[in-house]
Amino acid sequence: MKNFVWQIPTKILFGKDILATLPRETLNYGQGILFLYGRDSIKKTGLYEKIKALFKETEGKLIELGGIKPSPTLEQVLEGINLAQKEKIEVILAVGGGSVIDAGKAIACGVFYKEGFWELFEKRKSPEKALPLIAIPTVSGTGSELNEVCVITNEEKKLKLSLRGRVLYPKVAFLDPTLTFSVPKNYTAYASFDAFSHVLETFLHREHKEEGLTEDFMVVLMKNLIKWSKLAIKEPENFKARANLMWASSLALCGLIRAGIGVCRFKIHALEHTLSGVFGIPHGLGLAILSQAWLKKYSQTPMVKKFFEKVFKTKDSEKGLSLFISWLKELGIPLSLKELAIKKEDLKFLTNQAYFIYELYGAHREISKEEIEEIFEMAYE
The reply to whether 333 falls in a domain is yes
Q: Give the three-state DSSP class for 316.
A: coil
Say if residue 18 is in the same domain as residue 82: yes
pLDDT at site 64: 97
Say if residue 298 is in the same domain as residue 190: yes
Say if residue 93 is in the same domain as residue 108: yes
Domain interval for residue 86: 11-178
Say if residue 144 is in the same domain as residue 274: no
The reply to whether 141 falls in a domain is yes
Pairing between β-strand 11-14 and β-strand 32-37 as defined by DSSP bridges = unpaired
Say if residue 201 is in the same domain as residue 349: yes
Say if residue 266 is in the same domain as residue 134: no
Say if residue 237 is in the same domain as residue 370: yes
The reply to whether 5 falls in a domain is no
Calculate mean pLDDT across residues 60-68: 96
Which sign does the torsion angle of CA 84, 128, 124, 10 carry?
Answer: negative
The reply to whether 29 falls in a domain is yes
pLDDT confidence band for 117 (50 / 70 / 90): very high
Calculate mean pLDDT across residues 73-83: 96
pTM of the model: 0.95
Calculate mean pLDDT across residues 108-120: 93
**Which among 178, 213, 240 is the end of a domain?**
178
* DSSP per residue, 158-195: TEEEEEE-GGGS-SEEEE-GGGGTTS-HHHHHHHHHHH
The amino acid at residue 228 is: W
**Which among 146, 178, 210 is the end of a domain?**
178
pLDDT at position 366 over 90:
no
Over the chain, what is the mean pLDDT?
A: 95
Say if residue 194 is in the same domain as residue 296: yes
pLDDT confidence band for 319 (50 / 70 / 90): very high
Alpha carbon distance 214, 380 (integer Å): 34
303: domain CATH number is: 1.20.1090.10
30: domain CATH number is: 3.40.50.1970
The reply to whether 2 falls in a domain is no
Give the end-to-end CA distance of the chain in Å, rounded to a whole number.
40
Calculate mean pLDDT across residues 103-130: 94
Calculate mean pLDDT across residues 170-194: 97
Say if residue 166 is in the same domain as residue 200: no
pLDDT confidence band for 258 (50 / 70 / 90): very high
**Which among 130, 162, 178 is the end of a domain?**
178
The reply to whether 1 falls in a domain is no
Say if residue 100 is in the same domain as residue 114: yes
pLDDT confidence band for 376 (50 / 70 / 90): very high
Calculate mean pLDDT across residues 301-322: 98
For the chain, the residue count is: 381
- Per residue in 248-260, is it b (16+ CB within 10 Å) or e — as a string? bbbbbbbebbbeb
Say if residue 376 is in the same domain as residue 230: yes
- The count of structural domains within the chain is 2
Alpha carbon distance 339, 327 (integer Å): 18
Calculate mean pLDDT across residues 334-362: 91
Is 241 within 8 Å of 228 (Cβ atoms)?
A: yes
Calculate mean pLDDT across residues 154-174: 95
pLDDT at position 63 over 80:
yes
Beta bridge partners of 380: none
pLDDT at site 334: 96
Q: Give the three-state DSSP class for 13.
A: strand
Say if residue 48 is in the same domain as residue 63: yes
The reply to whether 95 falls in a domain is yes
pLDDT at site 79: 97
The reply to whether 62 falls in a domain is yes
* DSSP per residue, 320-366: HHHHHHHHHHHHT----SGGGT--GGGHHHHHHHHHHHHHHTT-GGG
E strands along the chain, which residues? 11-14, 32-37, 61-65, 91-96, 133-137, 149-154, 159-164, 172-175
